[in-house]
Structure 1
Amino acid sequence: MKKKLPLHTQIILGLVLGLVWGLVSAWLGWSPKITTDYIKPFGTIFVNLLKMIAVPLVLASLIVGVSSLSDISKLSRIGGKTIGIYLCTTVVAVTVGLLAVNLIRPGTKLPTETRENLIQVYSSDAESKAASAEQLQQQSPLQPLVDMVPENLFASAASNGSMLQVVFFAILAGIALIQLPEAKKEPVVRFFDGINDMIIRIVEFIMLIAPYGVFALIASLIVEVAGDQPEKALQLLLGLGWYSATVVIGLFFMMLAVYPAIFKLLTNIRYRVFFKAIRPVQLLAFSTSSSSATLPLTMETIEKKIGVSEEVSSFVLPLGATINMDGTSLYQAVAAVFIAQALNLDLTLADQLMIVLTATLASVGSAGVPGAGMVMLVIVLESIGVPTAGIALIVAVDRILDMLRTAVNVTGDTVVTMVIAASEGEIELTEYRAKERSRIGATVDPSKPA
């Protein structure tokens, strides 16, 4: 009997084949409409399927998770630790980005001609992002608190962009259930628990087509970036190589240095074991550029493959998908300083501290959907007096970098979930514990540090 390829291997194959298709299509001069009309729709369907179940999953899992805590004090303890660690990792991410961009100074390496070309080509995109950000800036500083409370739950549930409102209602409902008599509480919890199990099964169905969806998404992305002038697109991308490299270095530093350090300090679990378990999640986040769309698979992986309890994962992960954006915050720090360097603007220490503050706050209000980070970047630029039109310099490579930073966003969510679970004694390395024991002998416990 043939052994089935693991999901992450299938997704990698879909990603590579999509990349090959896009490049071949561009260089051979095939009409982009072949890809955009007949291949891209399958990628769109795949992402829509994931988004379709994101809101009901968050609603059901959070209600079940919060109500299962059975104690308001436990909820406040876990909630306080979760938000505190999320804010700390975000500040670290912004600081890493600032250090990288100040050491490498990519803005000074951008040729004048390339800079002018980029501003000319992408000026309309920059204006639309600036207009969106201007609407946000005209609001009250306390508007995020207002936006957190839904005036109509059903309207909020109809939009993935209103996920924080769904989270608010679910936590409130869970707290209310804790205070109800057991006889009245049990049927409600069982109903939402059944909904949660049903959605997890739907996730398994959707993941059967994940490799094909990833192929379609990557193929259409390459074709749209290259268009009918692949040489010109390549020149623009090469001109932004130093900027892209700076963002990538920062993101990989978070993934391979900061997160392992957090594991070493705050858990007794091997990062290698954890990292291996979440590979499908990272690949899906990379392909969809959406923390919200990846959330169903993230929850299933953390619970079933690693063994984090449902009461922790169902609270920490949905919250992370809405307020924790380590990769996006790091990118905003690098992008803001890069644009200032490219425009020959000097930033003071106070300006860079302002970037730390605004990028951290912006990550809380940033939706977990593709492109949201760039809108929030405009607010960061405004806070330090850098012309918002400067985002035209980075639009060309933003879609690709968005994929990478989403993978880091999701990894950050899972890392914090592991830390909270370890601190609460709510973790059991199920599948990977068994595999590790069979590989190195039953006497060795993989949860112990190397």
Structure 2
Amino acid sequence: MKIGNKLTIYIVIALIAGIAVGSFFNTMVDQAWVLWIDKYIFNVLGQIFLNLIFMVVVPVVFISITLGVVSVGDPKMLGSIGIKTLAFYLVTTAIAITIAMAIALLFEPGEGKADLLQSDDVSEYRETELEGGDTEIAMEQTFDQTIINIIPDNIFMAMAEQDMLQIIAFAIFIGVGMIAVKEKASGLIKLFEQANEVIMWIVLAIMKYCAALGAFGLVATAFTHAGFGAIQQLGMYFICVLLALLIHFAVVYGSAVQFLAKHSFVWFIKNFIPAMTVAFSTSSSSAVLPVSLEAAQNNLKIRKSISSFVQPLGATVNMDGTAIMQGVATVFIAQLSGVDLTVMQMITVVIIATIASIGTAGVPGVGLVMLAMVLTAVGLDPAAIGIILGIDRLLDMTRTVVNITGDATVALVIDHQQDVKEGKFVKGKHKYADGEIVEK
């Protein structure tokens, strides 16, 4: 079973229908019957679909990473791939936030709107999120503690809490252990391979029978509550984020695919679009991970050993889309506050947001937690985040598409480098293990 073009079309139709129905219902959002439909139809459809996906995310990540490590076979090569992957992720994240800040400085979305700081949204966010909430606890976590927390002291608790960074760390240890004992672990490796087949069948069955309805429900409830009306007041901020996302998507990823992976970006989008549509509806890199892996391995022809390692790691630590939101939001809030950020402060924003993309992985609401950390570092009031909450759900859908596209792009680049090293790339053609030739 695989995700075909027909399912992608169904999901796109569901997304369009969800936007249309949700936007219409937003004009009557105060009426009881609209709230009933949103709560018991849209929300139920969406949350059941999300729960079905999240149900298999942990086993997908654990099994994929473990098999990826085993497939590499050489711990030294694994270390090389790991270093390259993290380097690519950190560089693209730094580029993303730099683009975002440049766009915000150019268009000045916060100029003349200082009255937004006096809104009830700001005081409500301060009371509910910053004073003793999860955001405050996460912001107080020191860098050394963040590094320590990468290694789980209880793997079952890490799995229960879906702490992906700890799950990945444990899976790497298991995979290296399997390599070390070699033939003695052949039965265990076979068990993991069989488990992977079962889990991926379940994932693709969920996509086949539930994805379109789930996508409709998630998008419909998002637009019912936010709608296009929420965009009007923060229109320029919304446009700046979308423009930065588009530039990063087309220019940075497009260039990486074209010049580093030696493939057409149009070819890449055509083959990866099934994962993009699911990412737009779920707003979760982790939730769309099983679909991203399937699209990368079957459509983009990225070898499983690389895809299974690079993409789950990216779903945890690569947040280019989120970094773009942080860059625009930081400049936007500084402009609202009448603060001119110095060059040093802007460099601080880039550094902290880039490092935090790894350091705060696994924290619920990670994007806003990271933004709170960035704002605090440059002396801005993190409670101002309340201003952008109304449209953040809409932007979250688009930046998740950028996040997972970055994961697949890095996997494709590293896969190409491996092809060159193994002599499987000659004069614009890739020759894969199954003998198939794929042109640029």
Normalising by structure 2, we get a TM-score of 0.90
- In structure 1, give the amino acid aligned to 2:439: S
Offset of residue 316 of structure 1: 0.4
Q: Which moved more, 1:13-22 or 1:95-104?
A: 13-22
Contact 2:109–2:237 (Cα < 8 Å) also in 1: yes
- What is the rounded CA distance, in whole Å, between the counterparts of 1:379 and 1:287 in structure 2? 27
Q: Name the residue aligned to 1:138.
A: 140
Matches within 5 A, 1:212-291: 212-225=213-226, 234=229, 236-291=230-285
- What is the rounded CA distance, in whole Å, between the counterparts of 1:330 and 1:257 in structure 2? 14
- What is the rounded CA distance, in whole Å, between the counterparts of 1:158 and 1:300 in structure 2? 24
Offset of residue 109 of structure 1: 4.8
Q: Name the residue aligned to 1:89.
A: 92
3-state DSSP of counterpart to 2:299: helix
- What is the rounded CA distance, in whole Å, between the counterparts of 2:364 and 2:236 in structure 1? 23
- In structure 1, give the amino acid aligned to 2:99: V
- In structure 2, give the amino acid aligned to 1:216: G
Matches within 5 A, 1:54-69: 54-69=57-72
Instruction: Tell me, yes or no, if structure 1 residue 177 matches structure 2 residue 183.
Output: no
Name structure 2 gaps, 5 residues minimum.
431-436
Note the alpha carbon deviations across 1:419-443, whole angstroms, 9 max, x for none: 01110118999xxx99xxxxxxxxx
Matches within 5 A, 1:13-412: 13-28=13-28, 29=31, 30-110=33-113, 112-113=114-115, 115=116, 119-130=119-130, 131-160=133-162, 162-182=163-183, 184-208=184-208, 209-225=210-226, 234=229, 236-367=230-361, 371-412=365-406
- What is the rounded CA distance, in whole Å, between the counterparts of 1:92 and 1:194 in structure 2? 40
Q: What is the RMSD computed on CA atoms of the aligned residues?
A: 2.2
Offset of residue 264 of structure 1: 2.5
- In structure 1, give the amino acid aligned to 2:187: P
3-state DSSP of counterpart to 1:108: coil
Q: Name the residue aligned to 1:229.
A: none
- In structure 2, give the amino acid aligned to 1:325: M
Contact 1:328–1:373 (Cα < 8 Å) also in 2: yes
Contact 2:147–2:359 (Cα < 8 Å) also in 1: no
Number of equivalenced pairs: 420
- What is the rounded CA distance, in whole Å, between the counterparts of 1:283 and 1:428 in structure 2? 31
3-state DSSP of counterpart to 2:222: helix
Q: Name the residue aligned to 1:442.
A: none
How has the CA–CA distance of structure 1 residues 428 and 251 changed in structure 2, closer, same or farther, with 3 Å as cutoff?
farther
Contact 1:290–1:370 (Cα < 8 Å) also in 2: no
- What is the rounded CA distance, in whole Å, between the counterparts of 1:414 and 1:311 in structure 2? 13
Q: Name the residue aligned to 1:8.
A: 8
Q: Name the residue aligned to 2:433.
A: none
Normalising by structure 1, we get a TM-score of 0.88
Offset of residue 90 of structure 1: 0.7
- What is the rounded CA distance, in whole Å, between the counterparts of 1:145 and 1:370 in structure 2? 18
- In structure 1, give the amino acid aligned to 2:93: T
How has the CA–CA distance of structure 1 residues 368 and 101 changed in structure 2, closer, same or farther, with 3 Å as cutoff?
farther
- In structure 1, give the amino acid aligned to 2:179: I
- In structure 1, give the amino acid aligned to 2:168: V
How has the CA–CA distance of structure 1 residues 403 and 428 changed in structure 2, closer, same or farther, with 3 Å as cutoff?
farther
Sequence identity, in percent?
Answer: 36
- What is the rounded CA distance, in whole Å, between the counterparts of 2:10 and 2:406 in structure 1? 24
- In structure 1, give the amino acid aligned to 2:151: V
Q: Name the residue aligned to 1:440.
A: none
- What is the rounded CA distance, in whole Å, between the counterparts of 1:13 and 1:195 in structure 2? 33
